[in-house]
Amino acid sequence: MRFLVTGGAGYIGGILVPQLLSLGHDVTVLDTFKHGGTELAEACRYKGFTPVKGDARDLRLLDELTPRHDVLLPLAALVGAPLCKEDAIGAKTLNRDAVIELVKRTSKDQIVVYPTTNSGYGVGEQGKFCTEETPLRPISLYGVTKVEAEEAVLQAGNGVTLRLATVFGMAPRMRIDLLVNDLTYRAVHDRAVLIFEGRFKRNYIHIRDVAKAFIHAVENFDTMRGQPYNVGLSSANLSKIELCQRIQAQLPKFVFSEAPIGEDPDKRDYIVSNEKLERTGWSPDWSLDRGIAELIKGYTMLRNSRFANV
Ligand SMILES: NC(=O)c1ccc[n+]([C@@H]2O[C@H](COP(=O)([O-])OP(=O)(O)OC[C@H]3O[C@@H](n4cnc5c(N)ncnc54)[C@H](O)[C@@H]3O)[C@@H](O)[C@H]2O)c1
């Protein structure tokens, strides 16, 4: 199949795109490549890979590229509440409008698989799992724009949406701002962390299982069409404190403590059911503990030290 992946050079795209290529698909990536340009080095050896340097909001590019592909994966976004707060216009035009424009240009025979966040579930009910029927109540601009784009994808009738838990794991374009990646980074390099809202629970998923979910959605499109699916580890609905304990099990010198030093802009405190996706035959390969072990290895090599000698 021919895939168009906007934002394909990002954290998720850097893992997903080479996998699609290795399965024999053709993949066009439309990205600004603002993270250095080596994220997709692995993809260049495939004949079917075409990078297009450009903006996912450029309607001329969307007119040209959309009809030429069978599967559209709109990944380009300003990802996370803090980044969207910094650039509200960018968030609305890229996270919402560009997805609406892309969907408008698709026909009913094309497939759209759209990743959104499960942070829209916000403050969950104590002990009650959020399912795909649970109302979405996003608070941050990031959550709001992602939910609006998801609605457009589902309304068009030729899409599947994946409501991703907090993603973790090593990737060519690394993101150490994601919770598991962040706490493990601090555990490796600082040996200590102060957390806030330590009892707030969330769900987590390894990046390679996210890639597996995209491929699964395309391969099972006829049964999954028109529906949202939570994508997370049913074995990992954990609070931040429990997450720290899991990291500590592998790094016994890691010390953590709690203090009211911050607040989550999306008030994320919920447990999520991933049963709907599991019933379609998808299952994760990566446990949280395996992902933490992978991160510890990765951080032995990776350190943010732009303004230091070590
Ligand atoms: N990582 C997560 O935990 C997570 C969770 C839920 C949903 N998602 C969604 O998955 C998608 C990918 O997330 P990610 O973690 O890979 O983010 P990322 O920030 O690593 O990747 C975003 C990519 O979009 C590109 N981009 C930015 N502006 C662009 C523009 N104007 N035109 C074209 N490309 C542009 C960037 O260069 C980057 O390659 C996003 O839609 C995000 O909302 C991610």
Which of these ranges, 1-15, 172-186, 267-281, has the smallest mean pLDDT?
A: 267-281
Cβ within 8 Å of residue 116, ≥6 positions away: 146, 147, 149, 150, 161, 162, 163, 164, 228
- Going from the Cα of 145 to the center of ligand 1, the distance in angstroms, rounded, reads 13
> Which atom of ligand 1 is closest in space to residue 56's alpha carbon?
32
Residues in contact with ligand 1 by the CB-under-6-Å rule are 6-7, 9-13, 30-32, 34-35, 55-57, 75-77, 79, 94, 115-117, 146, 164, 166-167, 173, 175, 178
pLDDT in tens, 223-238: 999 999 999 999 999 9
DSSP assignment string, 191-219: SEEEESSTT-EEEEEEHHHHHHHHHHHHH
Mean pLDDT, rounded, of the chain:
95
- Going from the Cα of 45 to the center of ligand 1, the distance in angstroms, rounded, reads 23
Task: Count the residues in the chain.
Answer: 310
Q: What are the Cα distances from residue 214, in Å, to 51, 126, 151, 208, 256?
A: 20, 30, 18, 10, 35
Is pLDDT of 125 > 80? no
- Band of pLDDT at residue 145, cut at 50, 70 and 90: very high
Q: Mean per-residue pLDDT for 137-155?
A: 95
Tokens at 66, concatenated: 């959309």
Ligand 1 pocket mutation pick from 79, 84, 92, 167 by most atoms within 8 angstroms of CB? 79
Domains contained in the chain, CATH given: 2-168+204-231 (3.40.50.720), 179-202+235-301 (3.90.25.10)
Q: How far is CA 218 from the centre of its chain?
A: 17
Q: What is the pLDDT of residue 266?
A: 74
- Band of pLDDT at residue 250, cut at 50, 70 and 90: very high
Burial annotation 159-177 (CB, 10 A radius, 16+ → b, else e): bbbbbbbbbbbbbbbbbbe
Q: What is the pLDDT of residue 268?
A: 78
Is pLDDT of 141 > 80? yes
- Going from the Cα of 115 to the center of ligand 1, the distance in angstroms, rounded, reads 9
